[in-house]
Amino acid sequence: MDSLEIKGGAPLHGEVEISGAKNAVLPILAATLLTRETCVLRRVPDLADVKTMCQILESLGAKTKIEGDTVTVRAEKVRDFVDYDLVRKMRGSLCVLGQLLARLKKATVSLPGGCLIGTRPVDLHRKAMEALGAKVNIENGYIIAKARKLVGGEMFLGGRAGPTVLGTANAMMAATLAEGITVIEHAACEPEVVDLGKFLNSIGAQIQGLGSPTLTITGVKELGGAEHEVIPDRIEAATYAIAGVATKGEVTLKGARPEHMKAVIEKLRESGVKVEQSKGKLTFKRGRGLHSVHITTLPHPGFPTDVQAQMMAFMTQTPGISIITERIFESRFTHVQELERLGAEISIEGPSAIVHGVQNLSGAELMASDLRASAALVIAGMVAKGTTRINRIYHLDRGYERMDAKLKKLGGKVRRVK
């Protein structure tokens, strides 16, 4: 199992290419099961989760081919059973439920199990499938869905913490082949959901309202093939921007879309960061002084929960007190204890973390607990004096394409240790 060794104190400078979005490419890969025709996806990041999704597609009967950042999928014949051994590796694998049900009128998909960052129930997925006419049961750890046919209906997908992103994706995909019109109220508005919708429309679906809380989907009899380029990863972009300013450097993001990062850009500016935009590039650097900020994570277009941990690492370097409130996942502060090992001063009160800015952090051995927590520890390690060693970085490989190589290119003193 690999670790990451970081010698802190080196400011990051230079340009970094932003990869395709993990949270967009996974449901789009799953959506290729809706058609018998060939689909070609471009700007696909080299991630462990992408490889897992391709394994799931192949286990269902699809043929996949990876060439660089291009993935070709042809699902001429499809099976209806997804085993636990594959699903347990990745929560996003649940998004094969909708299209298997739409195409085969039956699906048996293993429940993905627990999640360290908080409960992620499947009740809204079940509600969506039942609104389309399916009978859904949970037996022996599997979701079993069956329908004589799927018929368009109306559904409300608001959950405890707002709309469900994966549930919206599942409902969209199932509704593309349902008879009649489906209306999804309180749908997720994330850019990754919009990108999925654009892919579905490119293969023949009829989806209106992308990017809004109301989606209207007119079912079609069959879908075809298409080529599609995945949007850039706004979470990866935010991570490198924060790493740059946290280390007193200057980082330029190549290919990032500022319209997808409005909340992050606004909070960085509020904290004293200068943001410049020109010719498809975004540059982030410190201003004359830093300021503490208050952040509350919310569904898009609010501040993304997937950037909360990275921002917390940065807030340890700002004078004063910052308050970060997590409204999406109830257990997404697992990085706090590890940041404290570096010398951070953070206290938890209910859903909020109170961060006191400190003069210095010092290197230590750390344990990564999840994907975004891992990124926060990397940022903190690059700020800290001395050497920091982060164990269990397989989490990073799930969501960041060659992070150690990109950081080295920016001047970071980072080494992957076997």
Instruction: Give the residue numbers annotated as catalytic, written as ranges.
Output: 115
Eight-state DSSP code of residue 20:
B
Whether the Cβ atoms of residue 189 and residue 211 lie closer than 8 Å to each other: yes
Cis omega (within 30 of 0) on the bond before 301? yes
What does residue 268 show for φ and ψ, rounded to 5 degrees?
A: -65, -40
Hey, how many other C-beta atoms are within 10 angstroms of the C-beta on 366? Answer: 27
Give the separation between CA 272 and CA 318, rounded to whole angstroms: 9
Helix (H, G, I), strand (E, B) or coil at 51: helix
288 bridge partner residues: none
Q: What would the two tokens of residue 281 be?
A: 């590039």
**Helix pair 234-246, 308-315: axis angle to 10 deg:** 10
C-alpha distances out from residue 324 to 4, 164, 243, 351, Å: 27, 22, 18, 8
Whether the Cβ atoms of residue 75 and residue 60 lie closer than 8 Å to each other: yes
Give 356: exposed, middle or buried? Use CB within 10 Å, 0-12, 13-18, 19+.
Answer: middle
Please name the amino acid found at residue 265. I
Q: What would the two tokens of residue 140 be?
A: 């022996």
Helix (H, G, I), strand (E, B) or coil at 5: strand
Q: b vs e for 166-190, b when ≥16 Cβ sit within 10 Å of the residue's Cβ?
A: bbbbbbbbbbbbbeeebbbebbbbb
Give the separation between CA 191 and CA 212, rounded to whole angstroms: 11
Residue ranges in 147-206 assigned as alpha helix (H): 165-175, 191-202
Residue 90 CB partners (closer than 8 Å, separation 6+): 26, 49, 52, 53, 112, 398
Q: What would the two tokens of residue 340 be?
A: 């404290």
C-alpha distances out from residue 8 to 76, 325, 368, 375, Å: 51, 28, 18, 15
Angle among Cα 377, 95, 128 to the nearest 5 degrees reads 120
